Amino acid sequence: MNTHTELLTYLAGLTRCQRYLELGVHDGGNFLAVPSPYKLGVDIAPNPRVADVLKMSTDAFFENQAAKVAPFDLIFIDADHVGSQVARDLTSAIDVLNPQNPYACIVLHDCSPRTASEASPTVQPRGAWCGTVWQAWVNLRASEHAPWARVIDFDYGCGVVLPGVYDLRPWDPEEKLTPGQAFTLPFEWLDRHRDRALGLLPFDLFLRELGSMHVEEGYPGDVGRFGTGSRRALLGHDASRE
């Protein structure tokens, strides 16, 4: 396994996914490949040959449409790559996850840029571009009651969040970050703290850590479930929409 599409296919099976949401559909290749009886995409410039994709911004979707079509078992975020916008998308995505599915999760692409160019705040004309997605991820992991969140070390970093699960082995940064401080950090900071700040793992260790949370019934164990009303507070960052 080495692509986000393969990861999402695996997680669709793990979550017994019946409803899938993709933010940032692009050409539709990934959207079409993920197995789920119901799928919905959101993109500002969708491929007209791909059905079931709403042409709108993620802000507009969550403000006007999300409540009508929620909940979802699996959500993939690969839309705007500016950290503050990613944080808003993540906050809103948490609110539309299926509260009855203990494995319901969110996947973020491009969490681990390899170079300063890939991590540039502006779109690069050539080569890969991850933007500042990593800042939203660090902000999440630095929050006081951070959910279980790990980045799998392939395909520019695929972050997996279980918003309803406390992280029993949370990241404890040497220098505490204040709420929102992550959005001011430079790429050089990420390069120095990458493994611990991102929770970076190879896929086999990701599976091992995920498996350690299971109990006999096949659900996460005593790791702190939350109802939908309290999930938003887990981010530790006020990313609410005006």
Other C-beta atoms closer than 10 Å to the C-beta of 148 total 24
User: Does position 240 have pLDDT exceeding 90, yes or no?
Assistant: no
What is the Cα–Cα distance from 2 to 120, expressed in whole angstroms?
24
User: Does position 231 have pLDDT exceeding 90, yes or no?
Assistant: no
User: Does position 92 have pLDDT exceeding 70, yes or no?
Assistant: yes
pTM higher than 0.85: yes
Burial 8-45 (b: 16+ CB within 10 A, else e): bbebbeebebebbbbbbbbebebbbebebeebbbbbee
Indicate the length of the chain as a whole number: 242
Q: Hunting for tokens 């539709």 — which residue is that?
A: 28
What is the Cα–Cα distance from 116 to 188, expressed in whole angstroms?
8
Q: Taking all residues of the chain, what is their mean pLDDT, rounded to a whole number?
A: 87
Domains of the chain by range and CATH?
4-235 (3.40.50.150)
What's residue 48's pLDDT? 93
pLDDT digits (tens, 9 = 90+) for 30-62: 999 999 999 999 999 999 999 999 999 999 999
Q: What CA–CA distances, in Å, run from 213 to 203, 208, 223, 228? A: 16, 9, 7, 20
What's residue 238's pLDDT? 36
Confidence band, pLDDT 50/70/90 cuts, at residue 219: very low
Name the nearest CA neighbour of 8 among 29, 46, 35, 39.
Answer: 35
% of the chain beyond a pLDDT of 90 = 72
- Per-residue pLDDT, averaged over 157-174, amounts to 86
- Per-residue pLDDT, averaged over 98-116, amounts to 95
